[in-house]
Structure formats: structure tokens, C-alpha cells
Amino acid sequence: MIQLEQVTKTYPKASRPSLDNVSVSIDKGEFVFFIGPSGSGKSTIIKMLLHEVTPNKGRVIVNGKDVTSMRSWKRPHFRRSIGCVFQDFRLLPNRTAYENVAFALEVIGKTKAVARRVVPEVLELVGLGGKEHRYPHELSGGEQQRVAVARAFVNRPLILLADEPTGNLDPDTSIEIMRLLDRINRTGTTVVMVTHDSNIVNQMRRRVIEIESGRIVRDQARGVYG
């Protein structure tokens, strides 16, 4: 599903590479944590999987497509198979929960009728049934992140990328969000999550890949934060 083959990425003006000869293989349906200190290169991996940055060396293959050589005009279509959740939610403040999710469908050409059918379903799935018409500022942090998860999942992507999704949430809420991601993972979606949250990693007992200074120092099935 996701393959990094001897990937090296050095940003312009950086003294050392953000990723240094990294090779990782992630199968379909896996749930993987990337952990490591700030600046270790975790976010660079997420950006690479989104075709936001390209490696200097090595190959990145996502969904069977070689992202390294992908032309930028193909990027939009490629991204439709990937859902994305961030620490800061990235919701549109002037749109309701329903509209936020529907927006993601409409801008890729789905009709309003499709949105009317699919959006309530996915909002129900993330546990926001009854709160469809609230604006982000009327929702708690956890609820906002649920909207973001719903938006990421509404297209039924093959991969869900989560960049510190619990970074802004309290421990209890974080666990709820993790349950949600776990549920999504059980539908067959590959989940890749970057996090600092040792609690969560220890509770979930999933594959853990630890990165330090751009190198993989640990890759452990059913690992802990360590």
C-alpha cells in the first residue's frame, strides 16, 4: 500500500537531511504510528505521501503509484484516495459540520444529491448525529476533530493520514478520537498516524516506527512508545 525505498530528503539550506535513507513498507489495512522528537522527519513523511514534497533520492509508492515521478497536475486526482486529519482541524469556520463535509465532496465534482445521502451517514459514524448544523465554534475540540475525520473519510479513501490528530485535545477526548480511527481502520482503511502522545501509543499496541534525526531507529509490531 505504502512503500518508501531508500528515501532521502534534504530541504534547501538545511545542514542535514530530514530523512536519511529511509525504507518502510506498510501493508493494506495496517495501523502505523510514526513517533519521534520534533524535527525528526515524521511530518516530512506525511508530506511525501501527499505529494507535497518529493524526495531527493529513493522512491515513494502509494496505492501502487510512484509518487516520486508523478506530475503535479496528477496530484489532485491522486489525493482523492487519501484522507487527511491535522492537529489544527482545518475546518471552514463559516460552514456547519454538514457543509464542511459536503464541501469536500462538492469540490471534487460530486452532486448535492450524493452529499445529502453520504454526509449524514458519515457524521453519524463519527458520532456527530444531531449536530450536523452546528458551526465549528459551537463544537468542542473533540467534536471539531470528528468533523475533520468525517471529511477525511467521506470519500472512503484507501489511506488515512493523521498528523498529530490528538495534539490539541485532552486525554479523554484523545482516546475517543483514537477509537474512531481504530473503527475506520477496521473498515480496511490503512491508517498512518504521526504522534507525540505516548499514552495513546501504549494503549493501542499497534505497529510503531520510531524516527530520530531522519533515520528509523525502531520498527516494532504491537509496539509501545518506549
Partner 1 sequence: MRMKYVLSEVLVGLWRNVTMTIAMIITMGVSLTMLGASGLIYTKVADMKELYFENIEVSIFLKTDVTEEERTDLATRLEADPLVSQVTYVDKEEAFKRFQEMFRDSPDLLSAVKADQLPESYRLKLVNPEEYKTISDQYAAVGGVDQVVDQSQVLDKIFNLFTAGQNVALAAAVAMAVAALLLVANTIQVAAYSKRREVAVMKLVGASNWFIQAPFVLEAVVAGLIGSILGLGALVALKKFLFDDALSALQGLFAPVSWGEVFLTFPVMAGVGGLISAVTAWVTLRFYLRV
The footprint of partner 1 (CB under 8 A) covers 73, 75-80, 82, 84, 90, 92-93, 103-104, 106-109, 111-112, 151, 155
Closest contact distance (angstroms) between CB of 73 and partner 1 is: 7
Closer residue to partner 1 (CB): 74 or 179: 74
The sheet carrying 19-26 orders its strands as 19-26, 2-9, 57-62, 65-66
Would you state the torsion angle of the CA atoms of residues 123, 84, 212, 216, taken in this order, to the nearest 10 degrees?
100
Cell of 72: 503535479
The H or E element containing residue 218 is: strand 215-220
Closest contact distance (angstroms) between CB of 171 and partner 1 is: 27
SS3 annotation, 154-165: CCCCCEEEEECC
Closer residue to partner 1 (CB): 20 or 163: 163
SS3 annotation, 184-212: HHHCCCEEEEEECCHHHHHHHCCEEEEEE
Closer residue to partner 1 (CB): 78 or 135: 78
Closest contact distance (angstroms) between CB of 184 and partner 1 is: 16
Residues whose CB is less than 8 angstroms from the CB of residue 216 and which lie 6 or more positions away in sequence, other chains included: 22, 23, 24, 209, 210
Closer residue to partner 1 (CB): 114 or 224: 114
Closest contact distance (angstroms) between CB of 106 and partner 1 is: 7
Closer residue to partner 1 (CB): 57 or 95: 95
Closest contact distance (angstroms) between CB of 103 and partner 1 is: 7
